[in-house]
Amino acid sequence: MSNTSLFEFNPAPVQVIGPITDVFYLTFPALFTYINLIHCTNEMNVNIPQLADTLFERTANSSWVVVFKALITTHHLMMYGNERFTQYLASRNTLFNLNNFLDKGALQGYDMSTFIRRYSRYLNEKAMSYRLVAVDFTKMKRGVDGVMRTMNTEKLIKTLPIIQNQLDALLDFQANPNELTNGVINSAFMLLFKDSIRLFAAYNEGVINLLEKYFDMKKNQCKDALDIYKKFLYRMTKLSEFLKVAEKTKGSYIVGGGL
């Protein structure tokens, strides 16, 4: 089996040379593209840094189409690919640098550029969270014996603000039902929707644990815990608004499967 060092990522049809040899198109939805790439991340002879770096290189393109495809592909691999992919992203000195991205030349360029900036910020925050705690909050063990429910007070007070930051970045995507009729925005939103459910589960269990420990905390810890709880209530209002948008998109990719 040949080494996958020849992986190429282009907006036109490209060929993956390695465990899977196939021609695919990066269109929306392009389920077979993601299945192939996800499979590649589980193969030991695949160069994960090169794969990730190639996606980062695509985000330097001036076209919103190319950049959005690279971001959605990255998100798919973070969610469903081997953990080595997220580990590498978290270890990079730089992440997506798209705060000033603007495609002035294409149809819908201004509108789509806004979502690219927001979406890249979330992916950066997701990778940063992994860097700080060495775990993906959307994949951690849940339940009464789960990670957040059994975490000690000191670590809990440090970890919950990291979840808050990631959730803030997710909710800042701010797509409305009309905008979600756009297949590209909807594809990104669907992945964010799935992350939001899992992220909230970890967040909620952490807050439950925090409240159970509250009366045994030191004075300074009580102050921090109260601040975390107040922020939790505020974010639940924002999350509720986000989920209402998802509810209104029934019949589109969110419910139908999409990518």
Domain boundaries, the chain: 1-136, 141-259
| Residues facing residue 23 across a β-bridge | 15
Q: What percent of the chain has pLDDT over 70?
A: 83
Helix axes of 109-133 and 183-213: crossing angle, nearest 10 degrees: 30
If you average pLDDT over every residue of the chain, what do you get? 86
Which tens digits make up the pLDDT trace of 198-208? 999 999 999 99
The structural architecture, per CATH, of the domain 141-259 is Up-down Bundle (1.20)
> CA-CA distance, 103 to 192, in Å (whole number)?
23
Q: pLDDT band for position 85 (50/70/90)?
A: very high
Q: Which of 12-26, 36-50, 96-110, 156-170 has the lowest mean pLDDT?
A: 12-26
**Same CATH fold, 141-259 and 1-136?**
no
Which tens digits make up the pLDDT trace of 22-35? 223 334 445 556 77
> CA-CA distance, 116 to 98, in Å (whole number)?
7
Section 173-193 average pLDDT: 94
Q: Which of 15-19, 144-148, 169-173, 177-181 has the lowest mean pLDDT?
A: 15-19
Q: Which of 8-22, 33-47, 200-214 has the lowest mean pLDDT?
A: 8-22
CATH code assigned to 1-136? 1.25.40.90
Q: pLDDT band for position 16 (50/70/90)?
A: very low
Looking at residue 9, its pLDDT comes to 39
Name, in order, each residue with C-beta under 8 angstroms of 192's C-beta and a sequence gap of 6 or more: 119, 122, 170, 173
pLDDT at 108 over 80: yes
Residue 63, both tokens: 């076209």
